[in-house]
Structure 1
Amino acid sequence: MTARTAADRVTDHPDADDITLQGVLEALADPVRRSIVRQIAHAPGDMACGTFDISVTRSTGTHHFRVLRQSGVIRQYYAGTSKMNTLRRDDLDLVCPGLLAAVVEAADREAVRAGGARR
């Protein structure tokens, strides 16, 4: 058995051509996943899984990250032992131009109405 590289550890990202509007919309329908996307969008860089402000259990959080990854909204990779998250902005803008920006803007407004911070 050969040692697995960090790149081999997260493998179920769809190719850009396989990202669908339906899949993206279904992934973004959940408020926890919108919060994750919003936090990544406003972060100065990629974010480690353990740094998100989400109010779900670790196993539920893992599920939400998997849905976002498998739908093509985020890309995950390892940096040492940390699983990092980044938005697939370019790929999403090819499939559904402007959708990501609109979702982040709407999530910002939703957070303000709920009494949360702008970012």
Structure 2
Amino acid sequence: MKCIITTSMVSILLLLSHTKAAEPLKWRNGYIDRWGKPRTPEWRPIKTENAANFVVDLKSVSPVGSSMRVVAYLVQDDEFDPHNLITLTIDCEARVTDVASNVRLEALTSVIEEARVLACH
């Protein structure tokens, strides 16, 4: 049995050896929203009483009827984790009408207050 290696095969092997695997998405560079759209955020840190590290995307603040939609993120490490993404719809009395998140609601108190301030400034 003969093995013939052509020039094109060598070129492909060289190309593959220099190709990096896709880098994981970093939370600070962007996220995929709950509707599957990629977003480039403008993050603002949120001060919390429970030492959790949250950021809110200032570009995400948008009207939904008489309420506002705000996207926040629970930062735990450098890589983006979709389970840490929080989408809130909130009114000026801090009534949350919609929340999409895997983060415990008790941890969201500071996020809800910051979202209210952003939505009603």
Q: Under a length normalisation based on structure 1, what TM-score does the superposition of the two structures give?
A: 0.29
Query: Which structure's CA Rg is the greater one?
Result: 2
* Greater helix proportion: 1
Q: Which protein has greater RCO, CA pairs closer than 8 Å, 6+ apart?
A: 1
Q: Under a length normalisation based on structure 2, what TM-score does the superposition of the two structures give?
A: 0.28
* Greater strand proportion: 2
